[in-house]
């Protein structure tokens, strides 16, 4: 039987667990998290739900602190997973939504890339542990993969693929097109090159519209020119509910990629960061990995540039060849002014230290607003 290790049992990780244990094809699962007490309760809850549907998968738990690379390597050697799924982050992206509206709008405009150390730290250490283990599992990273995976690629630690982002957009566009043209959704094929930026631009305060490339096909006929594609993209993303309800779809994206990476038969899909490339692409995905599949009219170099240009609007000016992350000026200035975080760059190996600094400064800022009566209990 195939074996999958899931690191991090937060919102997305818990959704993945619940969906998988109800699937008769569920592989053996090993769940790893820092918090054993909470995780075991969540696992038991999932297994009870699975039993209701008469599914009885094998699920075990291993406690781990991902900053302990030796312990992580030991676990990977012990379990020899076919696929590793990372859902662990130090601080969730939506924590800033607890701020008052005015403060939230400004700090949101620094964009999510401004908080990259908080997303990068644990996957960086996990990838080091996997490399140290000597094993070679397929790796799926759910933690802001459009930005974290390209950094990891620069230091030889790239996961195989990300999840969500472009894939959250693509099926919503298919659904929207099928409704507008009154055709079956399966008759619609989308080729989309788009960065995480486009997912948040219609949903969060302070983001700017970035470049993208889209081709819309219905029954193998190009119908792209029938649409205002900016409007089509924006409307399609707005089909999702606000806040974090979309994370169930992120979980399905992860599971689809998991099964594809264990299959000899490639599937056509969309996912972020194949082989550590920036942003999202149409791909073929199988146990051989991910291969970009672009339509006529756009080259791989052009697709990469679209996503690199988008990253500049998502807080990251560039990633140096050694993996050093250079923040965009606007992101740096906003966080410096609001919470006192004054770093223009950081190296991957500094990500944990920098993340703890950011989180500490944000907590001080939040508590200050709370003391002033600006934050509701």
49-93 pLDDT per residue, tens: 999 999 999 999 999 999 999 999 999 999 999 999 999 999 887
CA distances from 222 to 57, 226, 269 (A): 44, 9, 18
A 10 A CB-CB count for 95 gives 14
CA distances from 249 to 130, 169, 186, 312 (A): 27, 11, 18, 26
Tokens of 286: 């199988």
Assigned CATH topology for domain 166-312: L-2-Hydroxyisocaproate Dehydrogenase; Chain A, domain 2 (3.90.110)
Across the chain, mean pLDDT equals: 97
HSE toward the beta carbon, residue 9, CA cutoff 13 A: 28
Position 97 confidence tier, pLDDT thresholds 50, 70, 90: confident
Q: What is the CA radius of gyration of the chain?
A: 20
Position 377 confidence tier, pLDDT thresholds 50, 70, 90: low
The pLDDT tens digits of the residues spanning 214-273 come to 999 999 999 999 999 999 999 999 999 998 899 999 999 999 999 999 999 999 999 999
- Mean local confidence (pLDDT), 126-130: 98
What's the longest Cα–Cα distance across the chain? 60
More confident call, 377 vs 55: 55
- Is the CB of residue 334 less than 8 Å from the CB of residue 114? yes
**The model's pTM:** 0.97
A 10 A CB-CB count for 283 gives 28
Domain residue ranges of the chain, discontinuous segments joined by +: 166-312
Q: Which residue is it, tokens 């004054």?
A: 342
Name the strand (E) or helix (H) holding 213.
Answer: strand 213-218
Tokens of 170: 């693509």
């Amino acid at each position: 039987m195939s074996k999958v290790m899931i690191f991090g049992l937060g919102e997305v990780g818990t959704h993945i667990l619940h969906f998988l244990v109800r699937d008769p094809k569920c592989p053996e699962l090993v769940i790893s998290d820092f918090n054993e007490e909470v995780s075991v309760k969540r696992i038991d809850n999932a297994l009870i739900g699975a039993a209701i549907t008469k599914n009885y998968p094998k699920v075990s738990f291993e406690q781990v602190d991902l900053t302990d690379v030796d312990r992580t390597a030991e676990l990977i050697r012990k379990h020899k997973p076919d696929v590793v799924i990372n859902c662990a982050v130090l601080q969730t992206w939506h924590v800033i939504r607890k701020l008052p509206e005015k403060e939230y709008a400004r700090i949101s405009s620094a964009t999510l890339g401004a908080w990259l150390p908080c997303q990068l730290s644990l996957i960086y250490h996990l990838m080091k542990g996997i490399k140290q283990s000597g094993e070679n599992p397929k790796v799926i990273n759910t933690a802001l993969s459009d930005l974290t995976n390209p950094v990891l690629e620069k230091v030889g630690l790239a996961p195989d693929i990300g999840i969500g982002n472009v894939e959250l957009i693509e099926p919503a566009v298919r659904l929207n097109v099928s409704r507008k043209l009154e055709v079956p959704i399966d008759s619609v094929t989308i080729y989309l090159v788009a960065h995480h930026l486009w997912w948040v631009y219609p949903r969060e305060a302070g983001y700017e519209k970035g470049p993208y490339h889209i081709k819309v096909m219905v029954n193998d006929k190009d119908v792209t020119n029938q649409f205002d594609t900016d409007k089509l993209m924006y409307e399609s993303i707005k089909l999702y509910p606000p806040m974090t309800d979309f994370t169930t779809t992120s979980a399905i994206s992860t599971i689809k990629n998991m099964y594809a990476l264990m299959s000899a038969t490639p599937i056509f899909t969309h996912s972020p960061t194949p082989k550590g490339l920036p942003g999202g692409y149409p791909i073929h995905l199988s146990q051989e990995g991910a291969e970009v599949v672009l339509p006529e009219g756009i080259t791989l170099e052009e697709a990469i540039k679209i996503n690199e240009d988008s990253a500049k609007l998502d807080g990251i000016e560039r990633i140096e060849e050694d993996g050093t992350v250079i923040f965009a000026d606007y992101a740096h200035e906003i966080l410096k002014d609001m919470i006192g975080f004054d770093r223009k760059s950081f190296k991957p190996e500094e990500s944990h230290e920098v993340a703890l600094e950011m989180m500490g400064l944000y907590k001080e800022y939040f508590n200050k607003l709370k003391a002033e009566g600006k934050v509701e209990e």
